Structure 1
Amino acid sequence: MSQVFSTSPTAPAAVAHFAARLAFETDVSDVHSDLEARIAGLVVVDSRGDVAWRQGHLPGAVHLPTGEIAARATEVVPAGSTVVTYCWGPGCNGATRAALEFARLGYPVKEMIGGYEYWIREGLPVQTATGLVRRPADTLTAPGPGISCDC
């Protein structure tokens, strides 16, 4: 018996499932593009702790650890903003917990899948105390020079 076909991926259910995921998730490439374009009303929140923030973070992100969101969100995130949360990476659910806290406060919110790890692995810039740094893109996660995934 097929493991793939053991449950039926019916079209209406699949449409609802994938539309819901896209409503609440975004990826590092789209976040980078919107930050570069300075899209109004977008606030990217790094939900990691102080030590992690000081190691490096997305340029333009604000630092608001998950445990502080309920108490400090209104002082850090302007009303009417859409929030994108991120944490370490796909093995960490910190961004999910942070997104839940923002949702409980009534903010429109998305989680950046891949987190900080995939931001770095795609060769995107990281803000550190010494300035912007970039590591070479990991060819397992990002196309090489001149190649676009066109997704």
Structure 2
Amino acid sequence: MIADTVNPVLRTAPAAPAEAAAYFRASLVFHADVSDVAAALAAGGDPGFVVLDSRSTEAWEQGHVPGAVHLPTALVAEQAGQLLDRSVPVVTYCWGLGCNGATRAALALAELGYQVKEMLGGFEYWVREGFEFETWQGRERRAPDPLTAPAAGDDCGC
């Protein structure tokens, strides 16, 4: 018996290779992942960008990326000029994949003339991948989640 159904993956054909390359290149222009941000910050010296936590004060106090600037999304238009240098690229983050606060903060910053990227995975994946974070009590680190980071070693190979 021959199946009458179309493969759901190929129901819509993949893009032509040149179109796919342009799309994925553009994605890298707009996004950074937590591992790359962590590696750049850990390398020491000036990473060439500033990390911006766009969550509420309550969320910031629960934990944040060490060295990040705190600027809630709703206050970006009003306060970015006081906290950020337009000549330094900004990497925004919020809670995680289910939150678009970092996207909205990135949009507001871009409209104000800042170069900006969004950190994929946000604070959730920062913690899940085992990177150190700060709270009002000091620095903490959790064991990496083996579903998001290698159990042994720091390099996922990607």
TM-score past 0.5 threshold: yes
What TM-score comes out, normalization by structure 2 length?
0.91
What TM-score comes out, normalization by structure 1 length?
0.95
- Aligned match of 1:52: 59
Structure 1 position 7 matched with structure 2 position 12: yes
The alignment's C-alpha RMSD in Å is: 1.2
- Cα distance in 1 for partners of 2:140, 2:36 equals 20
Report the 3-state secondary structure (helix = DSSP H, G, I; strand = E; otherwise coil) of the residue aligned with 2:153.
coil
Q: Post-superposition shift, 1:148?
A: 2.7
Structure 1 position 88 matched with structure 2 position 110: no
Report the 3-state secondary structure (helix = DSSP H, G, I; strand = E; otherwise coil) of the residue aligned with 2:10.
helix
Rate the CA distance shift 1:147–1:128 in 2: closer, same or farther, 3 A.
Answer: closer
Structure 1 position 61 matched with structure 2 position 83: no
Report the 3-state secondary structure (helix = DSSP H, G, I; strand = E; otherwise coil) of the residue aligned with 1:60.
coil
Q: Mind listing any 5+ residue stretches in structure 2 that lack a counterpart?
A: 1-5
The one of 126, 149, 153 equivalent to 1:142 is: 149
Q: Aligned pairs, how many?
A: 151
Q: Mind listing any 5+ residue stretches in structure 1 that lack a counterpart?
A: none
Larger Rg: 2
% identical aligned pairs: 54
Report the 3-state secondary structure (helix = DSSP H, G, I; strand = E; otherwise coil) of the residue aligned with 1:21.
helix
CA contact (8 A) 1:43 1:81 kept: yes
Rate the CA distance shift 1:129–1:147 in 2: closer, same or farther, 3 A.
Answer: closer
